[in-house]
Structure formats: C-alpha cells, structure tokens
Amino acid sequence: MIYVLCAAAAIVGALGGHALKRQSFFWSGGLLIGALAAVAYAAATAGSPLGFKLYYALGASMLPGWIGIGSLQAVFSRKLVRWPAIFVLLLSAAQIGTVLPASVNPAGLAALNGGNGAGVLVMDAWVIPTVLFNTFGLGFAAVAAFFAWWRAFRLQDAGRAALAIGLSIVVIGILGRSDAVYRLLERAGAGSFFMLADALTFGLIWLGASITRELPYPLGRMLFGVQAARPTD
C-alpha cells in the first residue's frame, strides 16, 4: 500500500508540475520536486538511506519554499520577489549540501512504515534550512493570499477573486503535509498513510494554482455572473 501511495503522489506531482510549467517556474518546480520526493520515499521504504535523505531534502524541506515563492510571484512583481527567490534557490543548495552527508538512524529508517520520517536523520546542520524552508514557505504563501484577498475586497472583480481563492487553496495544500496533520493521522490509526497526505497536498496546490488564472465557471457565475479571468495588471 505504501508503494501505491508513493506512486499516486509521484503521478499527481509530475502531472501538476507539467501542467503549471508555463504558468510558474516555482509552482511547477515545487510539484516536480514533490514527485521526485515521493519516488525517493519509496526507495527509503525499501531500506535506502540515500532515498530517505533525498526525500527529506526535497519533499520535507524544499517543496514549501518553492511553492511559497510561486505564490508571491502570482501577486507581486517579479522584481519585488527576486531576492526571496534567490534566497530560496541558495537555501535549496544548502539543504542538499547538509542533508546528503547527514547520518541516518538505521532503526528509525527500518521503522519508517509510511510515516513522516521524524527521527530518522541524526540532528545536524540540515535542521536550519529545513526550519527556514517550512517557515518561510508557508509564510510567503500566506502573505500572498492575504494581499490577494485585500485587493479582491477593495476592487471586487472576478479575476482578483480567482487569485485570492486559488492562493488560499495553495496555503491549505501546504498545511496538508504538516506535523499537525500527521498527528491527526496517527490518532486515527492511519500513521502509515502519510504519502496520501502528500498526494492530496500536490493535488490542492495544482488546483489552487490553476484557479488563480480562472475561476471554475459555476463559481464565477455565482459570484459575478461571468466567467472569471485573472487580472492583467
């Protein structure tokens, strides 16, 4: 079952990344990173320490940062987001450079069993970029959604509503693979289904990013009486 969930997450991530490649480099790249992380998790499940390191560097760390930058670029000018984007790219290199030489707890890897992998990597310098990625990734996406809603309420047009709703779904997607969600899975006796949360996360990010361009026709008609399109200014 774990391998099936890994395959599902990888397929959703790859398809979403391909679909968004012309819309956003960072949204597309983030989902492709997630797809690679799902494949690496399958290797980790089979006992590969390198597979787990790649999963952790890509999916558990880099993904939210890349999605957060994509969200900022959907709201603000590329010039304004340039330095945060460079920061995320440099942090990605730092993440890989600190995770690959990290030590793996063999007992923790053997007990992975579909969980989120807490305690598998021995604490080291990799913790710093991991915390920064998860903090700034969610923060960037939340800031983008906030400003999108502020503009939508202030100007009240269909395109800005599409942007605000889509970015909100992206934020929910990022939250979908948080520790809080994993704890809920554990309490429900479904701790080995963490990759299902990944698949749903990738799907929500893909859906949200797509909606930022255009509201689904029924929703756009209900809110504004027209099909929504993203504003050009």
DSSP the chain: -HHHHHHHHHHHHHHHHHHTTTT-HHHHHHHHHHHHHHHHHHHHHTT-HHHHHHHHHIIIIIHHHHHHHHHHHHHS-HHHHHHHHHHHHHHHHHHHHHHTTS-B-HHHHHT-TTS--TTTBPSSTTHHHHHHHHHHHHHHHHHHHHHHHHHHHHH--HHHHHHHHHHHHHHHHHHTTSHHHHHHHHHTT-GGGHHHHHHHHHHHHHHHHHHTT---HHHHHHHHSS-------
- Give the separation between CA 106 and CA 216, rounded to whole angstroms: 48
Q: List the domains of the chain with CATH numbers.
A: 2-224 (1.20.1070.10)
Residue 229: is its pLDDT beyond 50? Answer: no
pTM, to two decimals: 0.88
- Look up residue 137 and give its two tokens: 């990734």
pLDDT tens profile 161-216: 889 999 999 999 999 887 777 778 778 877 677 888 889 999 999 999 999 987 76
Q: Once rounded to an integer, what is the mean pLDDT over residues 21-48?
A: 94
Please name every residue paired with 104 in a beta bridge, in sequence order, or none if there are none. Answer: 121
Categorize the per-residue pLDDT at 230 as very low, low, confident or very high, splitting at 50, 70 and 90.
very low
Note whether 117 and 52 are within 8 A (CB): yes
Burial string for 146-173 (b: 16+ CB within 10 Å, else e) reads ebbbebbeeeeebbbbbbbbbbbbbbbb
- pLDDT score recorded for residue 228: 44
C-alpha radius of gyration, the chain, whole number: 18
3-7, 51-55, 174-178: range with lowest mean pLDDT: 174-178
